[in-house]
């Protein structure tokens, strides 16, 4: 008889104890229908089990496995990234993973065995490994943009071990979706597309991919959350499915064998899986893929504003019924927003009647609107809502950097008054400053001392545009507002700093 370790004995003891308890419970006679005084009026019959056993994924793997592919990207040596000589002791696949999630690449000196080869050889170097899945029987494959972006060659390996060169149809970095095409004679096993909106938190899901180049690896877990805001244009699906380097671009499947997402990101402090992964909802990915297949790029709308979330304090100070909408911090000169009459400090509440619950909803709503079309925008301004009509422009391929204005310090000397009770000295703007900033008025903060204004984060050079939802064109206007304001309540200021406009809440003045 083989020896049993102490740990094994402990496990066996626990198992036997549990079995013994179960046996005892099984033989306890059922109590009569008469309830005890402590349980009278309460339901004592235990409810039926909600979860009955763990799922078996084997049939799903047999069904969907042939539709999942391994994607290997190559790069010519003369185009190789600096990582090849970076001194890190890891392969390119892992370096790509570290770069994608902003993790510093550890430096480990190593020798390059090919450094003495003749330059003329220029063999393709492996750049990275990812996954994908067959979208159509004629060879269209969906994957992540970061898997194939910048590759000179893309090699797709099918489950029958065929290796085929793929052509990149299009990539969209904003959503991390890409489509490639292989020529394999048709009749490829395409996936079935599911409905990501029907996913429920706690529902079982499965992933198939090539982590660390281990083809057709299967992991499973549950949906942890939906509508995670980790990107500008996509609310992602959060799961606890194990995702590692090489899983990117692979499918996330429901228990019906339908693709509900594309595995794209993880949350990690080490570069490895830490229990949180994210997938692109398949309905959004399909919409993007249709544009990529039609034109090779994605067309989005834009209106030319910079936005920020609406905090609870700002919502209360503005008289908004609830914390909702997108606060406009800046309006680009000559943009559709400026032409429509949008102003910095407006809160955008609706686009074509669709409520903007949070600031991240706005770029999705505008981005999904066809450029050239007109849209109705509802904004909250100085305690009331108003509707504006705006013509949607097209988002450029690369974001334009907003130019910062450099205001000349031509302010008149600070005037004493009620503003000093808040710890700030203010002055009127000169005509040149108003013209340069393209504003009708405003009051410049010239000096700050320890007090409510400084504690609220105001800085010298800031321009007060409104106070207590009242437009400020001069220091006299500001003094009048401060004279009427209840000193026991917060004071809401709309402040311009450079090209950015933001609300600042000053706490009540004490004393």
Residues classed as catalytic: 146, 176, 248
- Cα separation, 7 vs 448, whole angstroms: 68
- Tell how strand 326-331 and strand 305-309 pair up: antiparallel
- Cα separation, 251 vs 264, whole angstroms: 9
What DSSP designation does 483 have? H
Instruction: Extract the tokens encoding 73.
Output: 């990207």
- Cα separation, 459 vs 462, whole angstroms: 6
- Cα separation, 146 vs 141, whole angstroms: 15
Mind spelling out the 3-state secondary structure of 456-478?
A: CCCCCCCEEEEECCEECCCHHHH
- Cα separation, 161 vs 165, whole angstroms: 13
Q: How many CB atoms lie within 10 A of CB 411?
A: 19
Note whether 360 and 328 are within 8 A (CB): no
Instruction: Extract the tokens encoding 268.
Output: 């990690």
- Tell how strand 192-193 and strand 258-266 pair up: parallel
Q: Which residues of 355-366 are buried (b: 16+ CB within 10 A; e: fewer)?
A: ebeebbbbbbbb
Q: Which residues of 428-444 are buried (b: 16+ CB within 10 A; e: fewer)?
A: bbbeebbeebebeebbb
Planar angle of CA 227, 307, 230, nearest 5 degrees: 25
Note whether 334 and 371 are within 8 A (CB): no
Q: How many CB atoms lie within 10 A of CB 400?
A: 9
Length of the chain: 511
- Cα separation, 260 vs 145, whole angstroms: 18
**H or E segment to which residue 147 belongs:** helix 145-148
Q: In sequence order, what DSSP letters do the residues of 209-278 get, joined into one string?
A: E-GGG-TTEEEEEEEEEEEEE-SSS-EEEEE-----TT-TT-EEE-TTSEEEEEEEEE--SSSS--S-EE
What DSSP designation does 282 have? H
Looking at the DSSP bridge assignments, the partners of residue 391 are 374
Note whether 133 and 157 are within 8 A (CB): no
């Amino acid at each position: 008889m083989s020896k049993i370790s102490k740990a094994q004995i402990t496990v066996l003891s626990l198992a036997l104890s549990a079995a013994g308890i179960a046996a005892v419970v099984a033989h306890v006679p059922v109590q009569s229908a008469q309830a005890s005084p402590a349980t009278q009026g309460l339901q004592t019959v235990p409810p039926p089990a909600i979860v009955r056993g763990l799922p078996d994924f084997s049939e799903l793997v047999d069904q969907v496995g042939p539709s999942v592919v391994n994607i290997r990207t190559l790069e010519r040596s003369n185009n190789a990234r600096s990582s090849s000589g970076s001194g890190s002791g890891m392969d390119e696949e892992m370096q790509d993973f570290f770069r994608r999630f902003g993790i510093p690449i550890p430096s480990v000196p190593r020798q390059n065995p090919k450094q003495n080869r003749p330059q003329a050889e220029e063999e393709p170097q492996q750049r990275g490994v990812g996954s994908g899945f067959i979208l159509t029987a004629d060879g269209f494959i969906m994957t992540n943009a970061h898997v194939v972006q910048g590759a000179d060659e893309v090699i797709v390996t099918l489950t029958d071990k065929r290796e085929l060169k793929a052509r990149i149809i299009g990539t969209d970095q904003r959503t991390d979706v890409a489509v490639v095409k292989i020529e394999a004679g048709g009749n490829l096993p395409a996936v079935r597309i599911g409905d990501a909106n029907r996913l429920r938190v706690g529902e079982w899901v499965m992933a198939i991919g090539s982590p660390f180049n281990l083809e057709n690896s299967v992991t499973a877990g549950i949906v942890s959350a939906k509508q995670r805001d980790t990107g500008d244009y996509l609310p992602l699906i959060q799961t606890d499915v194990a995702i590692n380097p090489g899983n990117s671009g692979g499918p996330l499947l429901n228990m019906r064998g339908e693709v509900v997402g594309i595995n794209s990101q993880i949350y990690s402090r080490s570069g490895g899986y830490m229990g949180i992964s994210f997938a692109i909802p398949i309905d959004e990915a399909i919409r993007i893929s249709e544009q990529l297949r039609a034109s090779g790029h994605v067309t989005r709308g834009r209106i030319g504003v910079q936005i920020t979330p609406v905090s609870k304090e700002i919502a209360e100070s503005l008289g908004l019924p609830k914390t909702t909408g997108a606060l406009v911090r800046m309006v680009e000169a000559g943009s559709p927003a400026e032409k429509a009459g949008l102003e910095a400090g407006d809160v955008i509440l609706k686009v074509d009647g669709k409520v903007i619950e949070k600031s991240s909803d706005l770029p999705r709503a505008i981005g999904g609107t066809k450029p050239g079309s007109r849209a109705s925008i509802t904004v909250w301004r100085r305690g009331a809502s108003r509707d504006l009509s705006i013509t949607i422009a097209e988002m450029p391929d690369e974001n334009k950097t907003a130019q910062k204005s450099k205001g000349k310090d031509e302010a008149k000397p600070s005037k004493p008054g009620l503003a000093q009770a808040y710890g700030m000295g203010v002055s009127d703007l000169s005509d040149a400053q108003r013209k340069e900033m393209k504003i009708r008025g405003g009051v410049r903060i010239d000096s700050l001392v320890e007090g409510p204004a400084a504690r609220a984060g105001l800085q010298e050079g800031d321009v007060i545009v409104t106070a207590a939802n009242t437009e400020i064109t001069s220091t006299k206007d500001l003094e009048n507002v401060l004279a009427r304001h209840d000193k026991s309540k917060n004071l809401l200021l709309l402040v311009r700093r450079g090209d950015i406009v933001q609300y600042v809440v000053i706490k009540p003045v004490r004393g």
